[in-house]
Amino acid sequence: MFYAVIMAGGSGTRLWPLSRKSTPKQALKLIGDRTMFQHAVDRLAPLFTPDRIFVVTNAAMAEVLRPQTADIPAENFILEPVGRDSAPAAGLAAVRLLKRDPNAIMVILTADHYITDTAQFRAALAAAGQVADTGAIVTLGIKPTYPATGFGYIQLGESQVIVDGFRVYRSGGFKEKPDLGTAVRFLEEGRYAWNSGMFVWRAARLMAEFEAQMPDSYAALTRIGDALGTPDADRVLAEAWSATRKVSIDYGIMEHAADVSVIPVDIGWSDIGSWGALLDVLPGGEQGNVVDGQFLAVDTQGCYVHGGDRLVATIGLKDIIIVDTPDALLVCPRARSEEVKELVNRLVAQGMSEYL
Amino acid sequence: MFYAVIMAGGSGTRLWPLSRKSTPKQALKLIGDRTMFQHAVDRLAPLFTPDRIFVVTNAAMAEVLRPQTADIPAENFILEPVGRDSAPAAGLAAVRLLKRDPNAIMVILTADHYITDTAQFRAALAAAGQVADTGAIVTLGIKPTYPATGFGYIQLGESQVIVDGFRVYRSGGFKEKPDLGTAVRFLEEGRYAWNSGMFVWRAARLMAEFEAQMPDSYAALTRIGDALGTPDADRVLAEAWSATRKVSIDYGIMEHAADVSVIPVDIGWSDIGSWGALLDVLPGGEQGNVVDGQFLAVDTQGCYVHGGDRLVATIGLKDIIIVDTPDALLVCPRARSEEVKELVNRLVAQGMSEYL
């Protein structure tokens, strides 16, 4: 059977001051009246029934997310004792799924990205599931629309097959975030896709990669899997978890895996990695302004206003982002929202952790 | 004797969202740690002892202002039952002063303007007091520094005399707020001064003008004055006040008064009529930013941040005004702060009176 595993343990401050350590992006209602996590769950239906949707996160975040998805069984929330990056998280899901279904095929998904063409997304997942069923590791690559320097890339190797209309390529290798010149070349060559962080594989295949590439992690994960369902489960998890190698799927698994396939997709994907990126997927209203909250404007265009309980009033602004939270306010041009990380760095440097 | 009368009953929203009906400009700490009213009192010393400083305001505002000036006797706060513009307010002060001192010379001052050269200001007042002692009406005119369209002007007539180094001119007449072309011409001709709203006269001379120009107001003010110190004082004030003509000093008194003198002064005067005007008198700090509150900036210059309890964080802004209050936030370019009145008009039109 085919299972979805949503990685929802991350924290981040790229949408500061709204996203904080305690309320990361997946917990925020950024688009419409659903949280990013709810969007991530919503778009899986009807391909995955709720009992085949799993969520890897931490205990605190599970408290936040569980009430948002009444249909997903509570036991499908897989709790990491502490975050150890995405490879151990995927391994934890794999041993859990293998306990239930030795033939489990699993897709690793993110909780804080956005996809506009959800039908195409599900069709691509179904196709990727068929390829993974043969034993391959499959990754969904996003067809690039601009020379992004903020994403990793996957090179497209030889074309292998067409499944349900999706052309499947052999991976030509993963590339780290490029500089602009390299990104332009990637776009021009047309043989690269963005690494979306969405991977599909048999759970058993993932474990085989752990065994081959990270034997210590494999041993730890196997111990954890063997203890599942026994009274020792929690104790073993707590003990063995710290023996896993803290590494991402990209570096820990994909870089040296054989038989990796790529399916380039065009699904309206965004990582919502900045306020500007969020704005790109939100429909503008009057004067191209995107407004959440009470807003009074004189000659104001292309602005994003995320208000709280207060009235936000503007005069003569263009393409400015205003994010109003109870304890912090951000004002910056739309084109410079990537620099929020610089603000966050300064908060860290100045010990103003109450704002993080 | 020479008395100062500070008109402090006004309300205004030109510095919205900080200035509100309940907290007008005179009650705000806009410059340093003193309110505008406190600045208005502070700059009178040592020319006026506190017992010779009077304040005309309403009962509610007196509650706010009295604690700010411990030295001014409580009875020197003259309370208008309701605001009826500046001419009746001046008349009310005049009858009060005449009860105490038939030879009273009074200067009418504002509570919400700012003056940087307070020594020169006091020297000019002292000179004006000498001229007023002869029976003339004297007005302090501000030497224009740019072709302002937001102020009325006074034309300088023939030069009359020099008093303590101040040249005194006969008034050539009051001019309403000009259009830009006219303002440029005024500036070029060099024979005009801004009408600052500061007037000096014998209290008896003012009453004579009321008698000649507004007999009904004169009768009402005389009744009020006669009742002062009697048990009927409050009742008579309440009754007679509504019989005064609601009009400004400029229109009601000055326009048709004879023997008006003007002393042009250069005292660093500002009406603080907009956030931009306030910024012009505030010294800029790092990167030319003027900051009140907690502020974190990346590449931000020439901005004004009036924060509340919250952190205000900015990226890539230039010459932007950010005013943060508990229930409303303003963001606008420095050059367009005059348009705050447009915002306020919309609040009125949309019935959002809770923000006024």
Say whether both A340 and A250 belong to one domain.
Answer: no
The pLDDT confidence band at residue A197, using thresholds 50, 70 and 90, is very high
> How far apart (Å, rounded) are the C-alpha atoms in residues A7 and A55?
6
- Rounded to a whole number of angstroms, the distance from the CA of A10 to the nearest CA of chain B is 24
Test A339 with B315 for CB contact under 8 angstroms: yes
Least CB-CB distance to B329: which of A324, A336, A350?
Answer: A324
User: For residue range A51-88, what is the model confidence (pLDDT) as tens digits?
Assistant: 999 999 999 999 999 999 989 999 999 999 999 999 99
Say whether both A116 and A55 belong to one domain.
Answer: yes
Asked which of A233, A255, A270 is the last residue of a domain, the reply is A270
User: For residue range A312-341, what is the model confidence (pLDDT) as tens digits?
Assistant: 999 999 999 999 999 999 999 999 999 999
> How far apart (Å, rounded) are the C-alpha atoms in residues A307 and A310?
7
**Residue A308 pLDDT exceeds 90:** no
Least CB-CB distance to A315: which of B324, B326, B336?
Answer: B336
Per-residue H/E/C for chain B: CEEEEEECCCCCCCCCCCCCCCCCHHHCCCECCECHHHHHHHCCCCCCCHHHEEEEECHHHHHHHHHHCCCCCHHHEEECCCCCCHHHHHHHHHHHHHHHCCCCEEEEEECCCEECCHHHHHHHHHHHHHHHHCCCEEEEEECCCCCCCCCCEEEEEEEEEEECCEEEEEEEEEECCCCHHHHHHHHHHCCEEEEEEEEEEEHHHHHHHHHHHCHHHHHHHHHHHHHCCCCCHHHHHHHHHCCCCCCCHHHHCHHHCCCEEEEEECCCEECCCCHHHHHHHCCCCHHHCEEEEEEEEECCECCEEEEEEEEEEEECCECEEEEECCCEEEEEEHHHHHHHHHHHHHHHHCCCHHHC
Say whether both B69 and B98 belong to one domain.
Answer: yes
pLDDT at position B284 is: 85
Q: Read off the CATH number of the domain in which A33 is found.
A: 3.90.550.10
Test A313 with B326 for CB contact under 8 angstroms: no
Average pLDDT, chain A: 95
Say whether both B172 and B229 belong to one domain.
Answer: yes
Say whether both B28 and B51 belong to one domain.
Answer: yes
Q: For residue A274, which residues of chain B lie inside 8 Å, CB to CB?
A: none
B329 to chain A: nearest residue by CA? A312
Test B314 with A324 for CB contact under 8 angstroms: no
- How would you write the pLDDT of chain B (356 residues) with one tens digit per residue? 999 999 999 888 899 999 998 899 999 999 999 999 999 999 999 999 999 999 999 999 999 999 999 899 999 999 999 999 999 999 999 999 999 999 999 999 999 999 999 999 999 999 999 999 999 999 999 999 999 999 999 999 999 999 999 999 999 999 999 999 999 999 999 999 999 999 999 999 999 999 999 999 999 999 999 999 999 999 999 999 999 999 999 999 999 999 999 999 999 999 999 999 999 999 888 899 999 999 999 999 999 999 888 999 999 999 999 999 999 999 999 999 999 999 999 999 999 999 99
DSSP-based three-state secondary structure for A83: coil
Say whether both A154 and A292 belong to one domain.
Answer: no
pLDDT at position A129 is: 98
pLDDT at position A286 is: 86
A298 to chain B: nearest residue by CA? B343
CB-based contact B356:A337 (threshold 8 Å): no
**Residue A103 pLDDT exceeds 90:** yes
State percent of chain A over pLDDT 70.
Answer: 100
**Residue A11 pLDDT exceeds 90:** no
Test B346 with A296 for CB contact under 8 angstroms: yes
- Rounded to a whole number of angstroms, the distance from the CA of B272 to the nearest CA of chain A is 19
Q: For residue B332, which residues of chain A lie inside 8 Å, CB to CB?
A: 314-317
Q: Of the given ranges (A226-230, A280-284, B63-67, B162-166), which has the lowest mean pLDDT? A: A280-284
Q: Which residues of A163-195 are buried (b: 16+ CB within 10 A; e: fewer)?
A: beebebbebbebbeebeeebbeebeeeeebbbb
Domain that residue A187 falls in: 2-270
Say whether both A176 and A35 belong to one domain.
Answer: yes
Say whether both A233 and A252 belong to one domain.
Answer: yes
> How far apart (Å, rounded) are the C-alpha atoms in residues A150 and A155?
16
> How far apart (Å, rounded) are the C-alpha atoms in residues A192 and A177?
12
Please tell me the total count of domains within chain B. 2
Asked which of A270, A297, A326 is the last residue of a domain, the reply is A270
User: For residue range B184-228, what is the model confidence (pLDDT) as tens digits?
Assistant: 999 999 999 999 999 999 999 999 999 999 999 999 999 999 999
Say whether both A202 and A295 belong to one domain.
Answer: no
> How far apart (Å, rounded) are the C-alpha atoms in residues B224 and B88?
11
Say whether both B176 and B62 belong to one domain.
Answer: yes
A350 to chain B: nearest residue by CA? B296
pLDDT at position A307 is: 87
> How far apart (Å, rounded) are the C-alpha atoms in residues B45 and B56?
19
Say whether both A302 and A289 belong to one domain.
Answer: yes
Section A264-279 average pLDDT: 95
Asked which of B270, B303, B335 is the last residue of a domain, the reply is B270
Say whether both A259 and A325 belong to one domain.
Answer: no
**Residue of B295, B298, B306 for testing the chain A interface, max A β-carbons within 10 Å:** B298
B293 to chain A: nearest residue by CA? A328
Q: For residue A350, which residues of chain B lie inside 8 Å, CB to CB?
A: 296
Output the six-digit token pair for B216: 């009904």
> How far apart (Å, rounded) are the C-alpha atoms in residues A117 and A126?
15
The pTM of the full predicted model, rounded to 2 decimals, is: 0.88
Test A355 with B311 for CB contact under 8 angstroms: yes
